């Protein structure tokens, strides 16, 4: 029986080799779909930001800042022209925005969609007698696999080193839940649990690493598909402006799995025996295949190390940075202006209610609850605090300035670790402010500990 089974397996492999041979004719729809996907996803990966940039690895920080935008920026006149003449809208690429769903990017998608349809139609007419595209398809899938793997490492490492969604800043503890946007809620929900964020990133990194080795590429694609489906759903339901990229990474995963669809269905759904799910190989000889596999592994390690370096540097500047002097939330107990004490009235536009010193900067809270972000510079030797309006920001009722504008300067004393006194000038008035530090563990979001046993759910 063992010999019969061996012969049967060998026969199945021989039959598969014949089916996948260069003379097998694809049906018309398959050929048209390949031509369209080859053009559309090829253009998308070559032009969309980040896809090529991730392969700069450790050299990424040394490239011009606009390098991450890829060819989307230099080709933006095309998208702007299409926006004006096709959609009647003035669109432009906002380089200062982290949004991947800008209007100009939607116009870019429309343009490459039109190009893909036209190219597929013309290609079908001119090359209608070709039976298949086995060799070109193998190169195309290798290209897509490396593109997907690079993006999985790019986003995965930003979560493993929790910098994409950092711990909620102190100012958020003073903000009403209803004032947050859905995207902010998602960011803080993930950032509030670094372990959860690291696990999410680990799944993405695992999928990305497996994509760089042909033997494990199918498993890596399946993990990437599940990860990107979750990300896409979150982006759609929390209105995160990365819908275009997440959706396309999900589609690329499906394209990569398409050649294995029958085999995966046999194993996972139909409970049938199946031949190995091998990746289409663009290389003919075994020696070249081994060399190519080694090159792919080196590329994966290069991208991974580059992302680790960049994300560690970013994390050290944000969530992992040293806490500033006076770090914490301080409640104003007394506030005097020009020698006159100001009562804590919600209608008072001059009195402060709280002051926040955080890693990301400083805020002061007005009596009506409004949080105003400012730049606070603390000199621990001279015991001075300078408060400035950030460049490009505007205080309530003012016009944004091109350069930082000083709004207050104080000398400070700390009679006790949880007591702070400020004395100086604020908006042209002499003020003295007495503050008391808030115990951060008084906020349930920071103090609630994990419990195995809970007789009642701990929602408040």
User: What would the pLDDT profile of 46-73 be if each residue is shown by its tens digit?
Assistant: 999 999 999 999 898 888 888 898 899 9
What are the backbone angles phi and psi of residue 396, rounded to the nearest 5°?
-50, 130
For residues 434-446, average pLDDT: 93
- Spatial CA neighbour of 58 closest among 298, 299, 304, 306: 306
Give residue 405's pLDDT.
Answer: 84
Give residue 368's pLDDT.
Answer: 93
Give residue 298's pLDDT.
Answer: 96
- For the cut 60, the answer to whether the pLDDT of residue 7 exceeds it is no
Per-residue 3-state assignment (H helix, E strand, C coil) for the chain: CHHHHHHHHHHHHHHHHHHCCCCCCCCHHHHHHHHHHHHHHHHHHHHCCCCCHHHHHHHHHHCCHHHHHCCCCCCHHHHHHHHHHHCCCCCCCCCCCCCCCCHHHHHHHHHHHHHHHHHHHHHHHHCCCCCCCHHHHHHHHHHHHHHHHHHHHHHHHHHHCCCCCCCCCHHHHHCCHHHCCHHHHHHHHHHCCHHHHHHHHHHHHHHHHHHCCHHHHHHHHHHHHHHHHHHHHHHHHCCCCCHHHHHHHHHHHHHHHHHHHHHHHHHHCCCCCCCCCCCCCCCCCHHHHHHHHHHHHHHHHHHHHHHHHHHHHHHHHCCCCCCCCCCEEEEEEEEEECCEECCCCCCCCCCEEEEEEECCEEEEEECCCCEEEEEEEEECCCCEEEEEECCCCCCCCCCCCCCCEEEEEEEEEEEECCEEEEEEEECCEEEEEEEEECCHHHCHHHHCCCCCCCCCCCCC
**How many CA atoms lie within 13 Å of 35's alpha carbon, on the beta-carbon side?**
23
- For the cut 80, the answer to whether the pLDDT of residue 321 exceeds it is no
Give residue 389's pLDDT.
Answer: 86
At 454, the pLDDT band (50, 70, 90 cuts) reads confident
Give residue 273's pLDDT.
Answer: 86
The secondary element (H helix, E strand) that includes residue 386 is strand 384-389
For residues 120-139, average pLDDT: 94
Q: At what angle do helices 194-211 and 182-191 cross, to 10 degrees?
A: 90
The secondary element (H helix, E strand) that includes residue 6 is helix 2-19
Q: Which of 30-34, 138-142, 265-269 has the lowest mean pLDDT?
A: 265-269
Give the CA-trace dihedral at 59, 64, 67, 72, to 10 degrees. -170
- For the cut 50, the answer to whether the pLDDT of residue 190 exceeds it is yes
CA distance 46 to 146: 12
For residues 73-95, average pLDDT: 94
* Cβ contacts of 64 within 8 Å, gap of 6 or more: none
Please name the residue that has the structure tokens 């500033």. 324
CA distance 145 to 123: 24
Give residue 6's pLDDT.
Answer: 45
For residues 357-366, average pLDDT: 92
For residues 225-254, average pLDDT: 97
- For the cut 50, the answer to whether the pLDDT of residue 105 exceeds it is yes
Domain boundaries, the chain: 25-317, 328-445
* Burial (CB count within 10 angstroms: exposed 0-12, middle 13-18, buried 19+), residue 27: exposed
Q: Greatest CA separation found in the chain?
A: 101
Give residue 239's pLDDT.
Answer: 95
Distances in whole angstroms, Cα of residue 338 to Cα of each of 369, 388, 428: 23, 21, 10
Give residue 22's pLDDT.
Answer: 60
> With pLDDT > 90 as the criterion, what percentage of the chain qualifies?
71
For residues 278-288, average pLDDT: 86
CA distance 204 to 19: 34
- For the cut 80, the answer to whether the pLDDT of residue 282 exceeds it is yes
CA distance 89 to 197: 39
CA distance 110 to 350: 51
Instruction: Report which of residues 24 and 84 the model is more confident about.
Output: 84
* Cβ contacts of 38 within 8 Å, gap of 6 or more: 133, 136, 140
Distances in whole angstroms, Cα of residue 388 to Cα of each of 169, 189, 339, 376: 20, 31, 23, 6
Average pLDDT for the chain: 89
User: What would the pLDDT profile of 381-423 be if each residue is shown by its tens digit?
Assistant: 999 999 998 765 554 445 555 566 889 999 999 999 999 999 9
Q: Are 391 and 402 in contact (CB under 8 A)?
A: yes
For residues 204-230, average pLDDT: 96
At 10, the pLDDT band (50, 70, 90 cuts) reads very low
Give residue 401's pLDDT.
Answer: 53
For residues 114-129, average pLDDT: 95
Q: Buried b / exposed e across 326-354, counting CB within 10 Å, b at 16+?
A: bebbbebeebbbeeeebeeeeebeebbbb
Contacts of 48-51 with C-beta under 8 Å, sequence gap 24+, read: 48/72, 48/108, 48/245, 48/248, 49/100, 50/151, 50/154, 50/245, 51/147, 51/150, 51/151
Give residue 19's pLDDT.
Answer: 42
For residues 370-382, average pLDDT: 93
| CATH dotted code for 328-445 | 2.40.128.20
For residues 347-370, average pLDDT: 93
Instruction: Report which of residues 317 and 7 the model is more confident about.
Output: 317
* Structure-block tokens of residue 435: 């503050």
């Amino acid at each position: 029986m063992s010999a019969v089974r061996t012969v049967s397996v060998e026969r199945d492999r021989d039959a598969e080799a014949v089916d996948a041979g260069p003379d097998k004719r694809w049906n018309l729809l398959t050929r048209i779909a390949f031509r369209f996907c080859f053009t559309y996803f090829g253009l998308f990966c070559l032009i969309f930001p980040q896809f090529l940039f991730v392969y700069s690895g450790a050299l990424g920080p040394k490239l011009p800042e606009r390098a991450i935008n890829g060819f989307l920026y230099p080709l933006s006149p095309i998208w702007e022209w299409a926006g004006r003449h096709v959609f009647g809208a003035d669109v432009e690429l906002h380089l200062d925005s982290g949004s991947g769903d800008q209007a100009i990017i939607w116009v870019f998608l429309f343009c490459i969609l039109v190009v893909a349809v036209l190219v597929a139609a013309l290609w079908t007419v001119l090359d209608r007698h070709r039976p298949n595209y086995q060799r070109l398809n193998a190169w195309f899938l290798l290209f897509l696999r490396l593109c997907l793997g690079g993006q999985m490492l790019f986003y995965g490492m930003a979560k493993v080193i929790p910098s994409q969604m950092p711990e909620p800043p102190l100012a958020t503890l003073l903000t009403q839940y209803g004032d947050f946007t859905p995207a902010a809620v998602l960011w803080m929900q993930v950032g509030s649990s670094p372990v959860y964020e690291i696990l999410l990133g680990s799944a993405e990194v695992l999928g990305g690493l497996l994509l760089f080795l042909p033997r494990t590429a199918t498993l890596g694609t399946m993990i990437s598909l599940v990860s990107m489906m979750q990300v896409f759903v979150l982006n759609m339901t929390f209105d995160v402006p990365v819908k275009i990229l997440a959706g396309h990474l999900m589609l690329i995963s499906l394209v990569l799995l398409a050649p294995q669809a029958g085999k995966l269905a046999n194993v996972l759904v139909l409970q049938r025996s199946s031949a190995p799910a091998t990746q289409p190989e663009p290389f003919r000889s075994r020696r070249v295949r081994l060399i190519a596999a080694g090159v792919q592994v080196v590329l994966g390690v290069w991208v991974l190390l580059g992302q680790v370096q960049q994300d560690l540097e970013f994390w050290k500047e944000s969530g992992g940075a040293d806490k500033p002097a006076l770090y914490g939330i301080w409640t104003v107990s007394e506030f005097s202006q020009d020698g006159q004490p100001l009562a804590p009235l919600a209608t008072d536009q001059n009195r402060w209610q709280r002051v926040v010193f955080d890693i990301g900067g400083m805020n002061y809270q007005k009596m009506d609850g409004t949080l105003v972000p400012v730049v606070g510079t603390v000199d621990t030797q001279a015991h001075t605090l300078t408060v400035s309006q950030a460049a490009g920001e505007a205080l309530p009722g003012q016009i944004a300035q091109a350069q930082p504008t000083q709004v207050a300067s104080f000398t400070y004393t700390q009679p006790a670790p949880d007591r702070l006194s400020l004395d100086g000038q604020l908006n042209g008035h002499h003020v003295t402010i007495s503050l008391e530090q808030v115990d951060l563990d008084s906020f349930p979001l920071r103090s609630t500990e994990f419990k195995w046993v809970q007789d009642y759910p701990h929602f408040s």
